[in-house]
Homo-oligomer: A and B are copies of this chain.
Amino acid sequence: MTEADFIAALRTLPLHPAARALADDVALLGGMIVTTDTLVEGIHFLPDDPAADVAWKLVATNLSDLAAKGSTPIGVLLNYPLSDAAWDRGFLKGLGDVLAAHDCPLIGGDTVSLPAGAPRVLTVTAFGQLSPAPPRSGALAGDRLWVTGTIGDAGAGLAIARGEAGPATLLARYRRPTPRLAEGRRIARSAHAMMDVSDGLLIDAQRMAAASGVAVTIDLARVPLSADYLAWSGDPIAAATAGDDYELLFAAAPAFVPTMRATMIGRFSDGAGLTLTNDGAPTPLPARLGFDHGTAAP
């Protein structure tokens, strides 16, 4: 079953009002923003990724969902599969690092054992302070599409982690993503819609447009690429379809003026679907827009 089919089936069950009809990455509950993300070894991280980096990424991906709502972390729950002592110790070190870096305490969790040789599956649930929380579904025709930071660095980092040559800065973007918490707090005051880029810029922008009931056009030439990425490959399609960036993607009125590092990359219009241009000229969509859970491996 695909993720979309499964979520559609979940929508037929009794839903809490906080669920926002399962159309968003967070719930609003108990005066808090609540979000949960699971990472799977072999899917979301590599078996030889250092345990400390896996801990960092696990917490950072959840805090990134809080960032996309303009929320400040309150704390996290951890569901952890015990394994060999060296991996567990590495994980604890990275967990301490990422919690301290984001002033985010541990609230509790659960530890389990796994059958021998099973891939690790780790879950964090993060709680954040109540915030403006722009939904995924709020983009309006006429809004501009913006993204923070640079795109594609983490995708390059994944290739480097798999053995390609490349700089440590790109590898670090894959292994230790930065949740854009400060940026999110500022953007949330004026954004109509916001989400983080986890599965790929194109697929995530398409999802925002679909949830909002509008069309979106992205100009590839505007997609912000880092100097490191330009030196490594510079391919904008690869950048825009790789996941794991954890930058913030948001819709704002034409008058929006950013007070943080953000780039206007497209616009929303009446209609449906995703269209690409390159410096204004129409250009075909790639066959794969990003990572779609339940249909293919990354």
Q: Which residues of B contact A281 (CB under 8 A)?
A: none
Which residues from 97 to 133 on chain A have a C-beta closer than 8 Å to any C-beta of chain B? 99-100, 104-115, 118-119, 121, 123, 125, 127
Residues 6-50 of A at the B interface (beta carbon under 8 Å): 6-7, 9-10, 12-16, 18-20, 22, 24, 26-27, 29-32, 34-44
Contact partners of A96 in chain B: CB under 8 A: 12-13
**Contact call A113/B293, Cβ cutoff below 8 A:** yes
| Distance to closest chain B CB from A65 (angstroms) | 10
Choice from B10, B37, B84, B112 contacting A38 with Cβ under 8 Å: B112
The answer to the question of A1 belonging to the interface, with a C-beta cut-off of 8 Å to chain B, is yes
Cα-based distance from A20 to B106 in the complex (angstroms) = 11
Is A74 in the interface zone, CB < 8 Å from B? yes
Count of this chain's copies in the oligomeric assembly: 2
Residue in B15, B95, B107, B119 whose CB lies within 8 Å of A106: B15
Report A61 CB to chain B, min CB distance, Å: 10
In the complex, how many angstroms separate the beta carbon of A78 from the nearest chain B beta carbon? Answer: 8
27 contacts between A and B (CB under 8 A): A2-B82, A3-B111, A6-B80, A6-B82, A10-B106, A12-B96, A13-B99, A15-B105, A15-B107, A16-B75, A18-B107, A18-B108, A19-B106, A19-B108, A27-B77, A29-B127, A36-B125, A37-B110, A38-B123, A42-B115, A79-B79, A82-B293, A113-B297, A114-B119, A118-B121, A123-B123, A125-B125
